[in-house]
């Protein structure tokens, strides 16, 4: 069965850590693809970044 998992973090290192932890916790999955996206918004003179990944995998 093909499934997806969405990851969303404010820092790219945190995103990597979350994906790596998921993969470590699920060693039997077969990764099909990973889609990556970044976005930025400004809020009261502060830049807010969003790093997202969609992990597509088979169980």
pLDDT in tens, 26-40: 999 999 999 999 999
Sign of CA dihedral 42, 15, 29, 26: negative
Is the pLDDT reported for residue 45 higher than 90?
no
User: How many C-beta atoms lie closer than 10 Å to residue 15's C-beta?
Assistant: 19
CATH code of 31's domain: 3.30.1660
Cα separation, 32 vs 56, in Å, equals 5
Question: How many structural domains compose the chain?
Answer: 1
The whole domain housing 12 covers: 2-58
Q: What pLDDT sits at residue 29?
A: 98
Other C-beta atoms closer than 10 Å to the C-beta of 50 total 13
Average pLDDT for residues 11-38, to the nearest whole number? 98
- pTM for this predicted structure: 0.88
């Amino acid at each position: 069965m093909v499934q997806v998992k969405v990851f969303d973090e404010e820092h790219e290192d945190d995103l990597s850590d979350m994906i790596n932890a998921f993969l470590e916790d699920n060693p039997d999955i077969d990764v099909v693809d990973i889609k990556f996206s970044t976005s930025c918004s400004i809020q009261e003179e502060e830049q807010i970044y969003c790093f997202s990944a969609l992990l597509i995998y088979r169980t």
